[in-house]
């Protein structure tokens, strides 16, 4: 089956849907097709708890402070031009989101309630309780459905980009319900496919975060960058028997919670003068050091000294999830561990979100804009997605191209690849990446891991020659594809920066 569309967007989170809405409103006669591999509301956006970092208080805060906080967190590897653009565009893009019907918490005087998170010098995080991402996803989906020229194909898995002479002409898509492979030709394709969390055993990302967009871009020979910079969130709920990982938002520490060892020692002050509000890389490594020295399974977040009524009002989901685990935060400390959270690198794009492949653009977590450098400042990701979605919209508003149909027969062979083979290899992949490409790395383990990843990549090629692909197999293949540059770039890096730390290499202190 063949289809055509003017604009093809892969991903239905804040980045993808914002682009879709803007293009649909600007060009009501042009078809905008959004392809997503799960439910239309399932995305990394949905699970973002903290909020959007935006300078709203011109009295105690200003753009330069936010810029400096971002540059400090990025540890010398941010692109200043990008940082300035994103932060200065923030208030306009937030106003647009509010106009589209997104709700945010307000103070008693009616102004936006601004939270504070690690690495920020001021209160500037706009939020909706501890469910900011879910509220944004609700609002933008509603807005998208109001546009008659937007079509959302859910449960459709993008397999590979269609490219010829470094030009992207569309994508091959697997209809997960009919098992049919569809060829979609487009004038422009936008990757907004999110992160790579499922590469790791422990991640705050949903099951869909398997690096699909980045993997497709790699196979299409697009330029990627900064893949070694994997941010670990310091405080995920330690619940070893739970089927999923639950994040304890950084805003809880901004609210006044303390990190402690089981003996009650508030250890973060031993590592950084900012204590619990140091940047995520420092807090995560500090926890990792404490656990390595003590042999304990976790550290603890102490909220018992806080106003519990106010805590419940600000963090209802966190309060309820802790209660389900038998933790009464008024009396009990919350057990926490660092967990993979965010990829700072990805598909390299310019200020307009344009990749190194003609007619292919990217935004959101799958892209590397230069905003984050070596480490993402808390709540800058939703901001980046909004701003770059707007940049792509502006670029495409002034750009046009013709649809060219490229004939290519995507053959399916034989029986489906065995689910057991896929699940076994997936477990092995997650285990080796968690152990050898985590918070602290070393060259010996990285070299061994890279060799193993290459073997598994070849194994996947052999399976594709003999069997029909499945969604689970394609996700595994993509996870291996993105794991290779994570490890390879880690081997090449000789200086520790931001979220990257390799034993025996130069340490770059941020204190």
Render 110-144 in DSSP notation, one character per residue: SSBPEE--TT-SS--EE-STT-HHHHHHHHHHHHH
Contacting residues for 383 by C-beta, under 8 A, at least 6 apart:
52, 53, 54, 86, 87, 90, 93
Range 235-340 has CATH code 2.60.260.20: no
**Strand partners of residue 167:** 164, 358
442-478 tens-digit pLDDT: 999 999 999 999 999 999 999 998 888 899 999 999 9
pLDDT band of 74, cuts 50, 70, 90: very high
Sign of CA dihedral 481, 484, 486, 489: negative
384-412 tens-digit pLDDT: 999 999 999 999 999 988 877 776 666 66
**Strand duo 258-260 + 32-35: pairing:** unpaired
> Does residue 510 carry a pLDDT above 80?
no
413-426 tens-digit pLDDT: 678 899 999 999 99
Both tokens assigned to 119? 């690495």
In 192-298, at which residue ranges do the beta strands (DSSP E only) sit?
A: 224-225, 230-237, 258-260
State the CATH architecture for 419-492. Up-down Bundle (1.20)
- Residues 42 and 36 sit within 8 Å (Cβ to Cβ): yes
> Does residue 245 carry a pLDDT above 90?
no
**Strand duo 230-237 + 258-260: pairing:** unpaired
Please provide the CATH number assigned to the domain covering 2-229+344-397: 3.50.50.60
pLDDT of residue 407: 66
337-351 tens-digit pLDDT: 999 999 999 999 999
Sheet containing 367-368, strands listed edge to edge, beginning at the edge strand earlier in sequence: 224-225, 346-348, 367-368
Look up residue 297 and give its DSSP letter: S
Pairwise CA distance, residues 492 & 122, whole Å: 36
Catalytic residues: 280
**Left, alpha or beta for 417 (phi > 0: left; psi -120 to 50: alpha)?**
beta
- What residues does each domain of the chain span? 2-229+344-397, 235-340, 419-492
């Amino acid at each position: 089956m063949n289809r055509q569309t003017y604009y093809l967007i892969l991903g239905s989170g804040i980045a993808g849907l914002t682009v879709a809405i803007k293009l649909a409103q600007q060009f009501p006669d042009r078809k905008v097709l959004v392809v997503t591999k799960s439910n239309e509301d399932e995305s990394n956006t949905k699970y973002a708890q903290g909020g959007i970092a935006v300078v709203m208080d011109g009295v105690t805060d200003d753009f330069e402070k936010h810029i400096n906080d971002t540059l400090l967190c990025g540890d010398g590897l941010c692109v200043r031009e990008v940082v300035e653009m994103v932060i200065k565009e923030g208030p306009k893009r937030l106003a647009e989101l509010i106009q589209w019907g997104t709700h945010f918490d307000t103070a008693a005087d009616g102004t936006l309630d601004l939270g504070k998170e690690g690495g920020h010098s001021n209160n500037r995080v706009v939020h909706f309780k501890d469910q900011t991402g879910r509220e944004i996803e609700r609002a933008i989906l509603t807005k998208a459905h109001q546009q008659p020229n937007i079509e959302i194909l859910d449960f459709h898995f993008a397999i590979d980009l269609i490219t010829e002479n470094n030009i992207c002409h569309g994508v091959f898509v697997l209809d997960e319900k009919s098992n049919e492979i569809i060829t979609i030709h487009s004038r422009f394709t936008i990757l907004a496919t999110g992160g790579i969390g499922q590469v790791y055993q422990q991640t705050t990302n949903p099951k869909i975060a398997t690096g699909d967009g980045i993997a497709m871009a790699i196979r299409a020979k697009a330029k990627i960058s900064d893949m070694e910079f994997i941010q670990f969130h310091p405080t995920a709920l330690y619940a070893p028997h739970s089927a999923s990982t639950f994040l304890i938002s950084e805003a809880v520490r901004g609210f006044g919670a303390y990190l402690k060892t089981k003996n009650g020692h508030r250890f973060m002050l031993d590592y950084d003068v900012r204590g619990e509000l140091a940047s995520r890389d420092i807090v995560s490594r500090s926890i990792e050091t404490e656990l390595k020295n003590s042999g304990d399974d976790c550290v603890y977040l102490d909220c018992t000294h806080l106003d519990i009524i106010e805590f419940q009002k600000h963090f209802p989901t966190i309060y309820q999830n802790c209660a389900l685990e038998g933790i009464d935060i008024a009396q009990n400390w919350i057990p926490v561990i660092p967990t993979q959270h965010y990829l700072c690198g990805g598909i390299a794009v310019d200020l307009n979100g344009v990749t190194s492949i003609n007619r292919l653009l990217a935004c959101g977590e799958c892209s590397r804009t230069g905003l984050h450098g070596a480490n993402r400042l808390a709540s800058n990701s939703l901001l980046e997605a909004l701003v770059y979605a707007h940049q792509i919209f502006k670029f495409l508003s002034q750009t046009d191209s013709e649809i060219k149909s490229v004939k290519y027969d995507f053959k399916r062979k034989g029986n489906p690849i065995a689910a057991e083979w896929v699940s076994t290899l997936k477990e092995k992949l997650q285990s080796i990446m968690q152990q050898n490409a985590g918070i602290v790395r070393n060259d010996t383990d990285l070299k061994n891991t890279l060799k193993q990843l290459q073997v598994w990549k070849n194994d996947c090629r052999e399976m594709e020659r003999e069997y029909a692909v499945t969604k689970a197999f394609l996700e595994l293949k993509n996870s291996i594809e993105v794991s290779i540059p994570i490890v390879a770039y880690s081997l090449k890096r000789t200086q520790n920066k931001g979220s990257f730390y390799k034993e025996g290499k130069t340490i770059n202190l941020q204190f």
